[in-house]
Chains A and B, each alone.
Chain A
Amino acid sequence: MNIFIILGMGAAVGFLSGMFGVGGGFLITPLLIFYNIPPIVAVATGANQVVASSISGAITHFRRGSLDIKLGTVLLVGGLLGATAGIWLFALLRRLGQLDLVISLLYVVLLGVVGVLMLFESVNALRRAAKNQPVNLRKPGHHNWVHGLPLKMRFKKSKIYLSVIPVVVLGFAIGVLTSIMGVGGGFIMVPAMIYLLRIPTNVVVGTSLFQIIFVTAYTTVMQAATNNSVDIVLAFILMVAGVIGAQYGVRVGQRLRGEQLRALLALLVLAVGLRLAVDLVVTPEDFYSIVSAGTGR
């Protein structure tokens, strides 16, 4: 393992995450897999790295008070349950020898869907901008089926009266993704909170970061305890390079236009997903592999 390649990887992903305002976990884990780090280590180490990259962002939101602690706690309850289920599933898939495959497949599906959606959205926005059409924003407070669910709770900070069921389910789904894929899951949680739960945008990022920090921290400890798969040195190099890279990314990002940025990120996401898909389809050099049960350790 070359320390400079790892540093470069961390800095590049940090730069991108600063530029696009994303956590970067969904890029770090595939990159580590491309660098022949075992997927089981890449996922656990990725989750650890997300703790560091989310905290500096979250501190800013805590200071400004732009988060809903009550909503975040409900999300977190779902997240911790989801992460626990995910860790269990992770260990089961490992025993069955299907872990690497499932991680790759999930990444191909997730990166493919997110990449295509982002690309369409940003291309449409670019077209609108070219024709000088006003952006067609959906009205907040507009209700959908989610708001007809029972067990409603009042979230004062968000000024919303909402059933806890969709919140816990969303948190749970993100928790599963965190433990199996090593991502924070912000890139799914933020759009879901805005478009599905209709939570005001000003608290969405801070609240999702609140959930992400605790779920990724919990996942890191659980991965270390059950699979011994956290590489503390690898994670530390990645997070130091990442937080520095992010600072430069933010500066560059402020100078570029949002739609172009999102189109670029979409292409990058699609490229990473495509590479993983190719690796699944190409005939392997060797059909056989050996794994040890680990009882001798």
Chain B
Amino acid sequence: MMRLARTLLAALALASAAPVLAQEDKRPEITERLEIGISTDEIAISSDFRGADLTIFGAIEGYDPNLLAQRKYDIVVALEGPKDDLTVRRKERVLGIWVNRRSMTFELAPESYSLSSTRNVDDIAPAAVLNSIGVGLQHIRLDPIGYIGDGSNISEFRDAFRRLKETGGFYQRDPGGVQFISASLFKATVRLPANVPNGTHVVRAHLFRDGVFISEKALPLRVVKTGLEQMISNAAYANPVSYGILAVILAALTGWIASIVFRKD
């Protein structure tokens, strides 16, 4: 199995060797590339799903053997959930009752985010580098949309967002989740939470050399929930009017049958 993976990756390396060579004259210092693979591009999840680990295999190509021996390469693999505009609301006390007052909406933030890396991401690269590529729980891109006033409370809402996502199990990290299984071949384990959102996720792998971001590779991964519960939920969104009419018919039948069954006269 391992040998097969290696031959496969070797074949991939050969196929991509030509363009790499062509670029070498202009930027000789950057030759490393990442290749990753997952066994499937779709995961079916049943209603009793309690969370699972997803293993991603990959290899560094065109690496410098000396740097590799000095462990100068770092890999960060993230599983990003489907993106949506997410609003954080804050309750405040008004006339004795708790009311949602302030809010901030972050543009297309991932619903879930599972991070796996060779070591703590903040030790891998400077914060500015991580912020610019949006890698790491503290560096993920959270851009507010709409009116935000003087912007003084952005960090407050970002912190609340990350805290809620982490306590809910949607955002997680594993600083030892990426392991080298041979010189340049690695294995990354990312966690799928029990309440993993339905939709297209992206596996995004990042290669760093001595604190410098070198290259990125992404693969889509579709998460499809199965079972009766999900079928009903899908119907509620796909055919909302027929779903509503069905709900009324069901209620009318229940009431009518009850009146026949329990008829006293």
Residues of A at the B interface (CB closer than 8 Å) are: 48-49, 51-56, 59-60, 97-98, 101, 105, 217, 220-226, 228, 230, 232-233, 235-236, 239-240, 243-244, 246-247, 280-281, 283-284, 286-297
| B92 CB contacts on chain A under 8 angstroms | 287
How far apart sit A224 and B247, CA to CA, in the bound complex (Å)? 9
- The answer to whether A247 touches B262, judged by C-beta atoms less than 8 angstroms apart, is yes
Size category of the binding interface on chain B: 35 or more
Given contacts A221-B245, A225-B240, A280-B98, 11 further A-B contacts (CB under 8 A): A49-B251, A60-B259, A221-B244, A232-B232, A233-B232, A235-B250, A244-B258, A283-B98, A288-B90, A288-B160, A297-B237
How far apart sit A93 and B161, CA to CA, in the bound complex (Å)? 22
Residues of B at the A interface (CB closer than 8 Å) are: 82-92, 96-100, 103, 105, 111, 157, 160-161, 163-165, 199, 229, 232, 236-237, 240-241, 243-248, 250-252, 254-256, 258-259, 262
A220-B248, A228-B237, A287-B91 known; A293+B255 contact, CB < 8 A? no
A51-B255, A220-B251, A224-B241 known; A232+B246 contact, CB < 8 A? yes
- The answer to whether B86 touches A293, judged by C-beta atoms less than 8 angstroms apart, is yes
A97, A105, A240, A247: most-surrounded residue (chain B CB, <10 A): A97
6 tightest A-B contacts by CB? Answer: A55-B255, A224-B244, A296-B84, A221-B244, A243-B258, A51-B251
> What are 30 A-B contacts defined by CB distance under 8 Å?
A48-B247, A48-B248, A49-B251, A54-B255, A97-B100, A221-B244, A221-B247, A223-B244, A225-B240, A230-B236, A230-B244, A232-B243, A232-B246, A235-B251, A239-B250, A243-B255, A243-B258, A281-B96, A281-B97, A284-B98, A287-B91, A287-B92, A288-B91, A288-B157, A288-B164, A289-B91, A291-B86, A292-B85, A295-B84, A297-B237
- The answer to whether B165 touches A290, judged by C-beta atoms less than 8 angstroms apart, is yes
Report the minimum CB–CB distance from A17 to chain B (whole Å): 12
Query: What's the dominant secondary structure at chain A's contact region?
Result: helix
- The answer to whether A289 touches B88, judged by C-beta atoms less than 8 angstroms apart, is yes
How far apart sit A235 and B91, CA to CA, in the bound complex (Å)? 31
| B165 CB contacts on chain A under 8 angstroms | 290
How far apart sit A60 and B265, CA to CA, in the bound complex (Å)? 10
| A224 CB contacts on chain B under 8 angstroms | 236, 240-241, 243-244, 247
